[in-house]
Structure 1
Amino acid sequence: GWILGYREAVSAHRSEVESVLNTIGEKYGFVQSWSMGSTPSNVIAYYAASYKIFKTLGDKYGGLEYYKRFFKIVKRMGSVNDDSSIITALGQAANNTIEVLEMFKKWGFTGVSSIEEIAVFMEKARKTVEDLSILLQPFKLIAQILVSMALEAYNKGYYSRALLYANGAVTIAANAPILCLITYGLAAFLIARLAYRRMVKPKPVKPELLFCPYCGARLPRGALYCPYCGQRVQY
């Protein structure tokens, strides 16, 4: 912009961005909600935050050369479908994935981890579920399904989703004993209640007479004698 003679325009744009950034602070995690198919009402704030993130990384790790390395890594990865994979690529381009990841967490990004961390956690989840007793069904099976879903998501490049499934599997595995106690206890209670109901037969209800069997007159509710013929109708 400076070279092409747009110095004033670039300067004005930069001033506008800096002004917006002053109102935002240093928490840029809200850009995670920005999808390609939608335009937020305060789109300038999203642009400003994105600009600040990429400018900070570029200034710190080598400018255009840094982003050349980043795009080469993205191409090599094949699929970059979520924030964790993008941050991992940015970290690898900087030769310091941990530092870059911590920067994003400081900026307020949530649910992000490096691909390497996710892979380690998934292996931990798989081992944890595998070690569960067969007696802890059906929760062992549920945890195994979640591990399979995590692996499938990881292989497709949905790393944050893979981490979510793996976390779910670990949570279920950790609570499987108490969940089984609750489930089996509830099942035993329902079975006992059903058995009791079958054993205890309700007393037969005597049908209420609506008409006198002697004269055919309609009887008042609960009448023992017919008010018309005087005959006793209930005993």
Structure 2
Amino acid sequence: MLISLALCFNLITLISFSSPNPDGFFRYEFIVDDDGFTLVRINYVSDAEYGSSWVMVPKFSNWLNYTIRGRIYSWILGDPESYTGSQYFFYEILEFHFVSVERRFEMVIEYNFSTAAMIIEPNGIFYSPQIGFKKGSGFEAAVTFPSTFKANLNEALALGSLGSYGPERHLSNSSFVIFRNIPPFENLLRIEIGFRVNREPNIVDLESGVFRFSTVRRYESYAWRILNLYNATYDRFVNLFNVTLLPSSDSRKITVRFFLPDFYSLMSIGGYVPFTGGSMGDIYINFVFTRYVEGYLEVIALHELVHHFLWKAGISPENLLWFHEGMAQYVSLEIADEIGYEGVNMIRQETESNIHNLKAAIGENFGFLKDWTLSSTPRDLNTLYTAAYYVVSRLAEDYGGLEYYAKFFRLMSGKTVEDNAALCYYLSLAANEPVADKLNAWGFNIPDLYTHMPLIKGIEEAVSAIDPYNPLLQPFRRLINTLYKGVLSGKRIIAGSMQLYFLFILILARFTPLIALLVYSSILFTVVMIVLKVKGVF
């Protein structure tokens, strides 16, 4: 494939150029085929009699180099951090020393990159492999697309360390985009280009267990990677959340899809699950993360799956979004760590660094999490996700990790938790001690229902004893549940009077049949008296 692509495009790439720059000149070419598979060609030239330079090359995939003119007399492969000050997991540095012939040295490096151009028709995003070379060298880059692709020059940027740079518009068109005149201090770049594809997508639906993955055929292997992960972890999640995701029919299977993000938010969203009409939607996973270190994509996929399990377990994202997101990130990291993905430690380091920075900025007052809803974001998303993860993970550290939350979900089995006060109560039950003090130290301001545990258990037992099939008792059951949930939420309750409210509700629940008899008898008596009066009996 590499040789055939090179031959197809040699008319474009065999233009000779000289290097007035004493450190030489790098020309990058990216030649994209119909499925996004890309040939990367790096051409280096120098007019120096002898010299040295370096360039980034792939660490885990094959590449080749050949000298067109001159001779390389020594070379080494080095760690990128030693040359750039930063880590690049997928790359290493080729440092080479050369002598020229008649003051001309020229070398070419080539390698393939299967997902440089990511396509889910009709949309596409080209995101180059890492560009890196010796600072001070000359540089230009060109991207060539098939004729059926239409590059958007308004969405074409060379992303450097200190700025972003547009293409040479007078030399570019919808199938050829070239970048020149990049500042000489920029030697670490990526190129991003948005484009459209004029064809229909070839969609395949893959099914395994309770899951369905709908994807374009070219990414079928990536879809199976997610499906296999979901099936491998499904029983673990069932035991943790004490629920299953078994569908009532094939049409209700959990559906997963890849998506391509907006041009300007390439990696800001790893995935999402829409919540509309009071139910969880399909799972969407950002395809860009298939290019990350193994573990990143898996953590994202598990994170989104956790949302479905939380919803099924009785916790809605409408009022407890912070707990949804904190749990999703904590559980996904723990499960991915159990599997042994290499990227998990990297994600943990990033997360702990974010926590350190957040605490340095605002301390541990995370009360804003209570106001985080599907329609309201009281802080930037990074702050919200970091704070939510911190609370969930620190509770787990104190009370037993995933087993603590497994106990939590067993205790709330069959119930719906809709507010922070009720959530705190069940967290306290799982901990066998109040956790309200911890949450309030983080700014939640939650009433401690755990101190009323005997009354709460009594109410729940009394409500469950009310015959659910007796239509005459249902209005009383609904009234008691409404009053109970209102008191549990702690809203509009006078401080110090919560126990009286619980006691009142307990009496209503325990004596519901008697109260119903009295109420219905009173209504019947009143109706009879009215009828008799109308008839003139008295």
What is the TM-score with the length of structure 2 in the denominator?
A: 0.23
> Greater Rg, structure 1 or structure 2?
1
**Hey, which of these two has a bigger chunk of strand by percent?**
2
Of Structure 1 and Structure 2, which has the larger fraction of its residues in helix?
A: 1
